[in-house]
Each structure stands twice: as structure tokens, then as C-alpha cells.
């Protein structure tokens, strides 16, 4: 292979020379002085006489002309005849000068000595170091330091964002200060800027480290494999094409760090996109107090009717029966709120079909019997059985529903400043667990015989009761045992028994509600089978219970609201307010009575009454596993009413509101705001890890940050930068100035047009045409100076 020819290149001034651990003997150096080198091509034996100028010679001659070298150098480099005497003499003079210079490095005793610029034995070392110096405050030095500061600050910022995981709430969303797409784009731009600046800074550090090693004769020098490391950082894929170099460079500390940098550079933008770029994700559960507007008390029928969008004006339909509202408002309320209970009842019967088909549910667990759901606006409310029992032959159920005021409070941005789902590109979400009272409907039913039912029925002629009150019935319903019909009030903590005008027809229902609020119950008398009529007397009353919490999972276009009444519920109102209790709300009697009329429960042969009558015909003791009880059916029909009654009502989170029963004026002037405690988490645009395995990207962000800091400290601490011999343009010029190396051995014999070196020496085979292979990647070089030019000297 043809060795690289030596040409003058004054402007660059660098070239490679082989770095020997020992200096050849003076005799061998002197022999080298007397040897003529012509740099002949191995194929010159095919020609005779004049040899044409090669492409390499022509390129060298033109570059030398651009360099502005001396006329003597340019004229010597433009010779095209390899056999001419002038070229031979000039090459001979150059070799003699170099041999003389090398000879000066031989010790007085003629023994070889290790080159060491630290002990002053190498007179060229000061020249090398002086010529290689580059001011740290030069243009390139200032640029590198500026890039290092920029990359360090931004990489620290990105790492801190990934660790702190900030949530951007009102700053980044569809209608916020910054659109999500813009935020993602800016994150990608800054991540790419960090990557590019980091690559530039770190490769500059590699260049400085390798160049200083090459300049220091006592070091191990730099190998071809070391020069590949910058390419690995620039182009990580080049690792696959230079695997032999990895064998040598990967063993060094700098090589191992470089491989880690390759990993960081390859995945930095991916890591930044995963950990820094804003994305919709759930936050952690946290305690937060929310405020809600209390406009009226629970189960205020006048307030509920006033919200109905009636189209008949009050001038056409004035007040009736002493009410402040026109009849049109009350009628509107009945019409608007009668269809929803029927829909709820349909959902309930469908749930029963699934319950009967699911044999995995233990039938003995009455609490797991179907509850159904109801809908208010776009949100679906799911109830839960607070109590299901059949003690003493009576079916007693209590259905708890979520508080209807939690959803409007969460949706009230003015009061609570929560980011709504619709502002999060339709993918947002809010999960709230509120410690508030829960509205509930209690239904107690007991079967009466034809004889015992007569005490509850009067004839049209008088108000006298027929028959005698059954003591067991009196005990179950807490009736006053006094049979006197002239008594207007019951004994303390007792209720007056209902008095129906007539027994309902078979499969029909009679409704009764006493005047005043001493008794919070509405009563319904249901007729059962047709052959031997039996009756079911049911009392319906509403409770605000403190044993539950309301859970709201919002979403764009609607959400799900559930109630949690489990005994170990940590968010139950009783855990927050130990003095909280369950209170009957007597005002609900007005709503339940109006709704029963709207559902035609008092109308003979109504379809809904017939279904309830069939439920009452069950002869199975307790709860029939195949059919719902009439008590459960009544509770489902009134579930929507208790939810609507709680919308805008008190939350019961303090002593005043929790003790209110609805029979007196509310202790606080309305409307007012009430604070309630919640546990909340939201889906917002935030930074940070979302999945467990993505946490591995923290290594990439941390690695870039630490290495940026290291490089910044290095460039600030170092006193002087040096000429970067590993830059491709500098490397080309240095290699271009380097002369061929000679190794000991037998002569190859002279070919046509070829000049020999010292006898017994030959030019070492280079890498031309095929590049370095195998051990050649581990060949080490040093930088030296000769005639004002830098050259690389390969270690022997």
C-alpha cells in the first residue's frame, strides 16, 4: 500500500509522526541521513522514465499553493517527475534535517531514551505546546462556553420539571394561557436544542482531552479508536460500523463515558417527551375544601317547582290553596319529574333480570340486591342500600343516593377554580369524594289482613275507625295506640296512624299524607292478590344520612355519581364531623305526595299500581330472591326525587346545617355558601412519569445534566484550550503533513522508480484503500512539531 507522501503545508502546520517509546541508535539515525527517499509508487515498475503527476500530488500542490507557503516549498511540491534529481536532493535535505533533529535527542552515552516533555529532554515539546494553544476567550472558546451554559441551564430545568412533576391547571389547556399543542411543540424544540448543544459541548470536551493527551509525550497518546468517539456521539449508528474500534476505546474511562453519552443523546428527546412534555394525566389524591351554594333547604317543594320552566304565565294561572306559586308551576314540576321515575323503574327491572341470571351473587347478601340508577341532566346517579332487613315480618329498606349539590359545586369554576373536562381537549376528568350528607328514602312495609286493615279505613259517614289497632303494627310503625279519632296530635315521639277513606281495589294503591310536619311519612296502602285480598301498609320518609360520602367522576358530556355507605368508609361525614347524625326531613312528604299523584298511584287500575300489587303478592317470607319487594320498588320510584331535592340544598357539614330537620326556619340566611371537605384528583396537563417503566428515562435526563455540569466546570477551570487535532478538517491537514514511517526489516528490493530508505528498513504499510483493521484501531499517536508544522507520531 502506498504511504502518505510528505508535502509542505505551512498554514496548517500540523502533521503526524510515529511516537516511539525508545529512540533509535545514533548509528541507525546517521544511516538514515545518508539514505535517499523518493516516495515511488509500487506500480512504477510498469513505467519507465518520467512518471506523471498523480491525483494526490496534484491536490497537495494546489492546497500548498492556497496555504501561502514559501516559494521554495511550493516549487518543490509541484515537481511531477519522481526520478528528477532536484526532487531527490530536496527530499534528501529534508530527511537529513529530521535525522539531525532526532539525533539531538540521543543521550550522551548513545542509549535510547524515553521521550518525556516533563523532564525537558524533548526540545520540541515547548514548541508543540506553544503552537497548539488556543485562547479560551477566542471566538470558538467563547462560543463553546456559551453553548455549555445554555445546555447546562436548560438540562437542569428539564430535569427539575421531570422530578417535580408540576401540574399546569389553568395555564395549559384548550382555553388557557398556552394551548396544549403549543406547549408540546415548545418542549420538543427546547429538547432538541439541549441535545444539539450538549453534543457540541461534549465533543469539544473530547477533542480537548484527546488533543492534550496527544501533545503530552508522557501519555499513552491517542489511537484511531479514540478518534472515532466523536463520530459515535454525532452519529450513534456509526457504532455498528466501527465495532472493531469499540474493542479498544470502550475499555477506557473516556470511552465508557462516551458510550453513555451516546445512549443519552439517542434517547434524550424521547425522555423529554415522556417526562417533560405536558400530557393529560391523573394527579395524586389530595385533600381540598370546596364551596357550594345553598339556595334553599332540602326537599323544599316550592323551590323545586319554581325552577320548572313553565310556559303558562302566572296571570293565566294564579296561586291556589294558599300557595305562593301559581298552579302552573306545580303542574310543570309534576309533568317534568314524572317521566324520570318511570325510566328509573325500567332500568331497575332490567337490573333485576341480570341479577337473577347471575348465580355468583349470594342471595343471602341482601345489601347486594339491585338498586338501579337515575339521571339528572347528563350525570348518572347510582344508589346504594343503606339498610335491607326483614325483622319482625316487616320489610325495611333505606336507599341512599349521592348529594345532588356536589356536581354543581365541582362545575362552578368561579367558586372552586377546578379545571373542567371540556377544557382538556375533551379528555379531562375530575374525581371527587365529598364528605357531605346523603339523601335517602326509607320505606317500611308490613302485610295486613282483611281484618287488621279496617282500623286504618274510615267510612264516608264519620271519621270513626273500624276494628282495633294491632299492637304489633303499632310497634312497627311507632303509632300512638290511643284509638280516639278526635286526637289531633300524637304522643311524644309517636305518630298518628293514617286514615284512608276506603280500601283500594285489588292491585291498586291508596295514598295518605297527614297535615303538618309532625309525622315525616307519606303512607301507601297496596292491595295484593285477587282471591283472598291482603294488603301492604308502607310508610315513605326521607332522611339526610351522615354515614355516607358522595363520589363524583366527571367527564366531558356527563359523569357518574355514586354513594359509598360502607362501614369502613374513611370519607364518611361522621369521620369528619363526629357529632353528625341522621335526620328525618319532614318537608319531603309534600314532594312524595305530589309525585305519587303525578305517577297516578292513586288512580284506579293504573299500570304501575298493578305491578306494585304483584310485587306485594309474594308469599315468600322476607325478600323473594326472584322478585323485588314492594318496599324496594317504592324506593326506586322516589330515588330521583330525593336527588333533585338535594340540588342546591344544605351539605350538613357543620352543626347548624346537620341538625336541621326542615320543620323550622333555616338558621342561616339563604342563599349562602357552605364549605365541605373533599378528596380530589384531576386529569390535567402535567409533566412527569405516567407509567412505571418510563421512570428509566430519568437516567437520561440526569446523565445529560451531570455531564453538562462537568463540561461547564471543565471549560471554566481549564486555563488554556488547545488546537483540536480530532476535528475532521484539522485531522486531515495534520495527516496530510505526516511523513511515512519506517520499520526495521529486510529491504523490499528496488522497483522501477523506487528509492530505498536506510538499508534494512522499509516503509510501513498504511491503510490506503481499505482503512484500519483489527489491531490498527489500537495504534497510538502523539502530536509533535517539525519545521513549524504539527505532525502525528505513532507509537512503536
pLDDT tens-digit readout, 297-308: 999 888 888 887
Q: How far apart are CA 293 and CA 300, in angstroms?
A: 15
Question: In terms of domains, do 524 and 608 share one?
Answer: yes
Residue 105 is predicted with a pLDDT of: 36
Give the Cα separation of 216 and 690 in Å (integer).
Answer: 50
What local confidence, expressed as pLDDT, does residue 672 receive?
A: 94
Taking each helix axis as running N to C, give the angle between helix 327-336 and helix 588-598, from 0 to 180 degrees, rounded to the nearest 10: 70
Higher pLDDT, 614 or 699: 699
Q: At what angle do helices 85-103 and 26-33 cross, to 10 degrees?
A: 160
| Residue 8 scores a pLDDT above 90 | no
Q: How far from 108 is each of 100, 111, 113, 172, CA to CA, in Å? A: 15, 8, 10, 79
Domain count, the chain: 3
Q: Cell 340540588 sits at which residue?
A: 647
Cβ of 122: how many Cβ atoms within 10 Å? 19
| Residues in a beta bridge with 172 | 178
In this structure, what DSSP letter does residue 691 have? S
Q: Is the dihedral of CA 683, 685, 686, 690 positive or negative?
A: positive
Mean pLDDT is lowest, of 44-58, 332-346, 632-646, for 44-58
- Cα(373)–Cα(608) distance, integer angstroms: 18
| In the predicted structure, residue 134 carries a pLDDT above the cut 50 | yes
For residue 528, the model assigns a pLDDT of: 77
* pLDDT for residue 222: 79
Q: Are 642 and 443 in contact (CB under 8 A)?
A: no
Asked whether residue 528 is assigned to any structural domain, the reply reads: yes
Return the percentage of the chain with pLDDT > 70, whole number: 70
Sign of the CA dihedral with 381 first, then 384, 387, and 393 last? positive
CA dist 141 and 137 (Å) reads 5
The x, y and z cell numbers of residue 525, run together, are 296502602
What pLDDT does residue 557 have? 72
Least confident piece of the model among 504-513, 529-538, 712-721: 529-538
In a domain, 448, yes or no: yes
Residues 748 and 613 reside in one and the same domain: no
Higher pLDDT, 105 or 389: 389
pLDDT of residue 531: 62
Together in a domain, 153 and 84: no
Residue 29 has pLDDT above 50, yes or no: no
Residue 430 in domain: yes
Q: Which three cell numbers stand for residue 738?
A: 505526516
More confident: 442 or 769:
442
Backbone angles phi, psi at 252, to 5 degrees: -90, 160
Name the one residue in this structure whose C-alpha cell is 296502602: 525
User: Which pLDDT band, with edges at 50, 70 and 90, does 550 fall under?
Assistant: very high
Q: Which pLDDT belongs to residue 688?
A: 87
What DSSP letter does each residue of 45-56 carry, written as one string? GGS-S--PPPHH
Maximum average pLDDT range among 52-61, 349-358, 461-470: 349-358
Distance (Å, rounded) from C-alpha 395 to C-alpha 498?
Answer: 19
Q: How far is CA 209 from CA 229, 435, 441, 538, in A?
A: 12, 65, 81, 92
535-545 and 549-554 strand pairing: unpaired
Range of the domain at 52: 15-135+721-757
445 and 531 housed in the same domain: yes
Count Cβ atoms within 10 A of the Cβ of residue 626 and give its class: 0-12 exposed, 13-18 middle, 19 or more buried: exposed
Domain shared by 510 and 547, yes or no? yes
Q: What pLDDT does residue 314 have?
A: 63
CB atoms within 10 A of CB 696: 12
Copy the grid coordinates of residue 398: 333505606
Q: φ, ψ for residue 527 (rounded to 5)?
A: -90, 135
591 belongs to a structural domain: yes
Report whether 24 contacts 741 (CB < 8 A): no
Distance CA 657, CA 169 (A): 33
| C-alpha cell of residue 413 | 369554576
Residues 260 and 390 in one domain: no
Confidence of residue 711 (pLDDT cuts 50, 70, 90): very high
Q: How far apart are CA 224 and CA 233, in angstroms?
A: 16
Average pLDDT over every residue of 132-150: 87
pLDDT digits (tens, 9 = 90+) for 727-756: 877 777 777 666 655 444 444 444 444 444
SS (H, E, C) 391-418: HHHCEEEEEECCCCCHHHHHHCHHHHCC
Per-residue pLDDT, 327:
67
* pLDDT tens per residue, range 401-425: 999 999 999 999 899 988 887 776 6
| Whether residue 219 sits in one domain with residue 353 | no
Q: Are 445 and 394 in contact (CB under 8 A)?
A: yes
pLDDT band at 617; cut points 50, 70, 90: confident
Q: How confident is the model at residue 795 (pLDDT cuts 50, 70, 90)?
A: low
Contact present, 779 and 223 (Cβ < 8 Å): yes
Specify whether 72 is located in the same domain as 219: no
Distances (CA, A) of 465 to 392, 460, 597: 25, 11, 25
177-190, pLDDT tens digit by residue? 888 889 999 999 99
User: Does 629 fall in a domain?
Assistant: yes
Alpha-carbon gap, residue 146 to 169, rounded angstroms: 34
Say if 567 falls within a structural domain: yes
Cell readout for 3 is 504511504
Query: pLDDT tens digits, residue range 307-323?
Result: 877 676 666 665 655 55
Q: Are strands 522-527 and 509-513 parallel, antiparallel or unpaired?
A: antiparallel
Between 244 and 233, where is the model more confident? 233
- What does the pLDDT look like over 382-397, one tens digit per residue? 999 999 998 888 999 9
Q: Please check whether residues 575 and 625 belong to one and the same domain.
A: yes
- Claim to verify: residue 131 and residue 143 sit in the same structural domain: no
Specify whether 430 is located in the same domain as 515. Answer: yes
**pLDDT at res. 6:** 35
Contact (CB, 8 A) for 169 and 196: no
pLDDT (0 to 100) of residue 216 = 77
Same domain? 713 vs 622: no
Cα of first residue to Cα of last residue in the chain, in angstroms, is 19
Total-model pTM: 0.69
pLDDT given for residue 636 in this prediction = 96
Instruction: Name the helix (H) or strand (E) containing 226.
Output: helix 224-227
Would you say residue 81 has pLDDT above 60?
no
Four-point Cα dihedral 230, 231, 232, 235, nearest 10: 130
Confidence of residue 660 (pLDDT cuts 50, 70, 90): very high
pLDDT of residue 393: 84
Top-ranked range on mean pLDDT: pick from 386-395, 427-436, 564-573: 564-573
Strand duo 535-545 + 672-686: pairing: unpaired
Confidence (pLDDT) at 136: 80
- Residue appearing with cell numbers 437516567: 699
Most confident range (mean pLDDT) of 83-87, 508-512, 759-763 is 508-512
Phi and psi at 114, nearest 5°, equal: -75, 130
The sign of the torsion formed by the CA atoms of 279, 282, 288, 292 equals positive
Lowest mean pLDDT among 43-57, 191-205, 439-453, 479-493: 43-57
| Assigned domain for 103 exists | yes
pLDDT band at 455 (very low <50, low <70, confident <90, very high): confident
Cis amide linkage into residue 671, ω under 30° from 0: yes
Answer whether residue 639 shows pLDDT above 50.
yes
Classify residue 306: in a domain, yes or no.
Answer: no
Most distant CA atoms of the chain, gap in Å: 153
Which of 665, 686, 707 represents a domain boundary (last residue)?
Answer: 686
Provide the mean pLDDT of the chain: 77
Lowest mean pLDDT among 124-138, 326-340, 506-520, 598-612: 124-138
Amino acid at each position: 500500500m502506498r504511504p502518505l507522501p510528505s508535502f509542505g503545508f505551512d498554514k496548517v502546520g500540523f502533521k503526524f509522526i510515529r511516537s516511539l517509546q525508545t529512540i533509535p541508535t545514533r548509528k541507525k539515525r546517521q544511516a538514515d541521513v545518508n539514505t535517499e527517499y523518493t516516495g515511488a509508487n509500487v506500480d512504477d515498475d510498469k513505467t519507465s522514465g518520467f512518471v506523471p503527476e498523480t491525483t494526490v500530488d496534484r491536490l497537495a500542490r494546489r492546497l500548498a499553493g492556497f496555504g501561502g507557503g514559501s516559494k521554495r516549498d511550493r516549487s518543490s511540491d509541484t515537481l511531477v517527475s519522481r526520478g528528477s534529481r532536484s526532487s531527490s536532493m530536496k527530499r534528501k535535505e529534508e530527511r537529513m534535517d529530521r535525522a539531525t533533529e532526532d539525533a539531538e535527542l540521543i543521550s550522551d552515552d548513545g542509549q535510547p531514551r524515553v521521550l518525556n516533555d516533563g523532564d525537558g529532554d524533548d526540545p520540541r515539546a515547548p514548541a508543540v505546546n506553544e503552537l497548539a494553544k488556543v485562547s479560551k476567550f477566542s471566538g470558538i472558546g467563547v462560543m463553546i462556553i456559551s453553548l455549555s451554559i445554555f445546555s447546562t441551564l436548560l438540562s437542569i430545568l428539564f430535569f427539575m420539571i421531570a422530578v417535580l412533576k408540576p401540574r399546569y391547571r389553568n395555564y395549559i389547556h384548550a382555553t388557557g394561557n398556552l394551548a396544549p399543542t403549543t406547549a408540546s411543540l415548545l418542549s420538543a424544540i427546547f429538547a432538541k436544542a439541549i441535545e444539539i448543544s450538549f453534543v457540541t459541548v461534549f465533543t469539544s470536551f473530547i477533542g480537548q482531552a484527546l488533543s492534550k493527551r496527544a501533545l503530552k509525550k508522557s501519555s499513552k497518546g491517542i489511537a484511531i479508536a479514540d478518534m472515532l468517539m466523536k463520530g459515535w456521539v454525532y452519529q450513534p449508528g456509526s457504532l455498528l460500523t466501527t465495532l472493531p474500534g469499540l474493542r479498544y476505546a470502550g475499555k477506557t474511562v473516556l470511552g465508557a463515558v462516551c458510550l453513555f453519552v451516546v445512549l443519552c443523546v439517542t434517547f434524550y428527546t424521547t425522555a423529554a417527551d415522556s417526562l417533560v412534555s405536558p400530557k393529560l394525566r391523573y394527579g395524586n389524591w389530595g385533600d381540598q375544601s370546596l364551596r357550594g351554594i345553598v339556595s334553599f333547604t332540602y326537599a323544599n317543594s316550592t323551590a323545586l317547582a319554581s325552577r320548572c320552566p313553565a310556559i303558562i304565565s302566572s296571570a293565566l294561572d294564579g296561586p291556589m290553596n294558599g300557595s305562593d306559586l301559581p298552579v302552573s308551576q306545580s303542574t310543570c314540576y309534576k309533568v317534568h319529574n314524572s317521566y324520570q321515575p318511570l325510566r328509573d323503574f325500567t332500568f331497575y327491572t332490567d337490573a333485576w333480570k341480570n341479577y337473577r341470571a347471575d348465580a355468583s351473587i349470594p342471595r343471602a347478601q341482601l345489601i347486594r340486591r339491585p338498586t338501579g340508577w337515575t339521571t339528572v341532566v347528563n350525570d348518572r346517579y347510582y344508589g346504594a342500600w343503606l339498610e335491607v332487613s326483614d325483622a319482625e315480618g316487616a320489610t325495611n329498606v333505606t336507599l341512599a343516593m349521592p348529594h345532588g349539590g356536589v356536581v354543581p359545586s365541582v362545575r362552578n369554576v368561579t367558586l372552586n377554580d377546578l379545571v373542567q373536562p371540556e377544557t382538556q381537549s375533551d379528555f379531562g376528568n375530575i374525581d371527587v369524594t365529598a364528605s357531605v350528607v346523603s339523601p335517602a328514602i326509607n320505606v317500611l312495609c308490613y302485610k295486613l289482613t282483611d281484618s287488621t286493615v279496617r282500623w286504618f279505613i274510615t267510612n264516608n259517614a264519620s271519621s270513626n275507625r273500624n276494628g282495633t289497632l294491632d299492637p304489633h303494627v303499632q310497634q312497627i310503625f311507632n303509632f300512638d295506640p290511643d284509638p280516639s279519632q278526635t286526637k289531633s296530635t300524637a304522643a311524644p315521639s309517636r305518630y298518628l296512624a293514617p286514615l284512608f277513606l276506603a280500601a283500594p281495589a285489588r292491585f291498586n294503591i291508596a295514598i295518605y299524607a297527614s297535615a303538618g310536619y309532625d309525622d315525616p311519612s307519606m303512607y301507601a296502602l297496596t292491595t295484593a292478590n285477587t282471591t283472598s285480598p291482603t294488603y301492604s301498609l308502607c310508610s315513605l320518609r326521607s332522611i339526610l344520612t351522615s354515614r355516607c360520602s358522595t363520589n363524583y367522576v366527571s367527564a366531558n358530556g356527563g359523569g357518574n355519581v355514586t354513594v359509598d355507605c360502607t362501614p369502613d368508609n374513611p370519607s364518611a361525614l361522621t369521620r369528619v364531623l363526629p357529632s353528625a347524625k341522621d335526620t328525618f326531613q319532614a318537608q319531603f312528604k309534600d314532594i312524595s305526595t305530589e309525585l305519587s299523584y303525578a305517577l297516578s298511584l292513586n288512580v284506579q287500575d293504573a299500570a304501575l299500581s298493578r305491578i306494585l300489587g304483584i310485587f306485594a303478592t309474594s308469599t315468600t317470607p322476607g325478600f323473594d330472591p326472584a322478585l323485588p319487594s314492594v318496599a324496594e320498588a317504592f324506593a326506586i320510584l322516589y330515588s330521583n326525587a330525593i336527588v333533585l331535592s338535594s340540588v342546591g340544598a344544605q351539605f350538613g357539614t357543620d352543626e347548624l346545617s346537620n341538625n336541621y330537620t326542615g320543620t323550622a326556619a333555616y338558621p342561616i340566611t339563604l342563599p349562602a355558601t357552605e364549605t365541605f371537605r373533599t378528596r380530589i384528583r384531576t386529569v390535567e396537563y402535567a409533566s412527569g412519569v405516567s407509567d412505571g417503566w418510563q421512570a428509566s428515562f430519568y437516567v437520561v435526563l440526569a446523565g445529560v445534566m451531570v455531564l453538562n455540569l462537568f463540561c461547564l466546570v471543565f471549560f471554566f477551570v481549564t486555563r488554556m484550550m488547545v488546537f483540536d487535532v480530532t476535528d475532521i478538517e484539522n485531522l486531515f491537514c495534520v495527516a496530510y503533513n505526516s511523513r511515512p514511517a519506517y520499520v526495521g526489516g529486510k529491504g523490499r528490493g528496488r522497483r522501477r522508480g523506487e528509492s530505498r530508505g536506510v538499508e534494512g528498513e522499509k516503509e510501513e504499510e498504511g491503510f490506503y484503500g481499505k482503512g484500519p483493521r483489527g489491531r490498527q484501531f489500537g495504534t497510538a499517536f502523539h502530536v509533535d512539531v517539525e519545521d513549524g508544522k504539527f505532525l502525528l507520531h505513532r507509537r512503536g
